């Protein structure tokens, strides 16, 4: 990975929300988040010392927000409802082969309800009704029913995250999500982008799959869900 990308990757949420995807965000010069309706993720200019006072005016009491790269006591007025770690992985493999046999549909706003339903069923990570607008999302359908999807979320510089990877439980084990991911990696590499992703530490199966595909661990980092307390 190019040295110039290291500062971006080390605080990827902030750099995504304040640069390439600023149009999808709300906040200040110290704290930003995806606007309501998108993925509930926040980022801070100083990831290790997050300014939650700056973030609070853009949050609703009881709304869960995902934050990364910081630990310590919960700030005043907030509570931590999830405290875990995840692997940040960066693509180091070659160019995946074209998969002409994979029948995919580019997902748009008209597919938001189905995508949200599949995400709620499979829990691939923070997902909102407008998440599909953050990048290219593709899905596989059968008889009009969305059965698998994968797409792009955070972006900073040439770094582009693959996210929302999930398959309906009835079709898991057939390699559909892996093929969707390989297609996205191929598209990103053709645009001279660097694919990366996040996977929870306890999701050992997915972690092994991503390693086999050509991703490598960059770092293990803290991930938390925080909630602003009510008045």
Domain extents for the chain?
3-85+222-228, 89-221
Per the model's pLDDT, the better-predicted residue between 36 and 230 turns out to be 36
Banded model confidence at residue 184, pLDDT cuts 50, 70, 90:
very high
Instruction: Assess whether pLDDT exceeds 80 at residue 3.
Output: no
89-221 matches 3-85+222-228 in CATH topology:
yes
Residue 231: its pLDDT value, please?
56
Q: Is the dihedral of CA 123, 129, 131, 137 positive or negative?
A: positive
CATH of 3-85+222-228, one of 3.50.50.60, 3.40.630.30, 3.30.390.30, 3.30.950.10: 3.40.630.30
Asked if residue 84 lies in contact with residue 5, where contact means CB atoms within 8 angstroms, the answer is no
Instruction: Assess whether pLDDT exceeds 70 at residue 1.
Output: no
Instruction: Assess whether pLDDT exceeds 90 at residue 172.
Output: no
Burial class of residue 187, CB neighbours in 10 A (0-12, 13-18, 19+)? middle
Q: Find the mean pLDDT for residues 101-107.
A: 96
SS3 content of the chain, % helix, strand, coil (to 5): 30, 35, 35
Banded model confidence at residue 151, pLDDT cuts 50, 70, 90:
very high
Residue 209: its pLDDT value, please?
95
d(C-alpha 32, C-alpha 11), whole Å? 12
- Strand-pair partners of 88: 198, 219
d(C-alpha 216, C-alpha 127), whole Å? 24
User: Percent of the chain, pLDDT > 70?
Assistant: 98
Banded model confidence at residue 230, pLDDT cuts 50, 70, 90:
confident
Q: Find the mean pLDDT for residues 189-204.
A: 97
| CATH architecture label of 89-221 | 3-Layer(aba) Sandwich (3.40)
pLDDT, tens digit (0-9, with 9 covering 90-100), for 44-78: 999 999 999 999 999 999 999 999 999 988 889 99
Residue 102: its pLDDT value, please?
94
Residue 201: its pLDDT value, please?
95
DSSP-assigned states of every residue in 167-188: E-GGGTTSSHHHHHHHHHHHHH
């Amino acid at each position: 990975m190019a040295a110039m990308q290291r500062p971006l990757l080390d605080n990827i949420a902030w750099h995504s929300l304040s640069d390439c995807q600023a149009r999808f965000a709300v906040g200040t010069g110290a704290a930003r988040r995806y606007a309501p309706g998108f993925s509930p993720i926040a980022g801070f200019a100083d990831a290790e010392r997050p300014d939650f006072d700056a973030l609070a005016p853009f949050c609703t009491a009881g709304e869960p927000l995902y934050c990364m790269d910081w630990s310590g006591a919960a700030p005043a007025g907030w509570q931590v409802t999830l405290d875990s770690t995840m692997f940040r992985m960066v693509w180091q493999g070659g160019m995946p082969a074209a998969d002409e046999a994979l029948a995919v549909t580019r997902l748009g706003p008209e597919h938001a309800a189905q995508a949200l339903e599949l995400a709620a069923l499979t829990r691939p990570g923070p997902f909102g009704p407008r998440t599909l607008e953050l990048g290219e999302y593709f899905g596989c359908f059968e008889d009009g029913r969305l059965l698998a999807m994968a797409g792009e979320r955070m972006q900073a510089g040439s770094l582009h995250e693959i996210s929302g990877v999930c398959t309906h439980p009835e079709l898991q084990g057939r390699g559909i999500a892996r093929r969707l991911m390989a297609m996205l990696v191929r598209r990103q590499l053709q645009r001279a982008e660097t694919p990366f992703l996040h996977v929870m530490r306890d999701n050992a199966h997915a972690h092994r799959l991503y390693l086999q595909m050509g991703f490598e661990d960059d770092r293990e980092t803290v991930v938390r869900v925080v909630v602003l307390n009510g008045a």
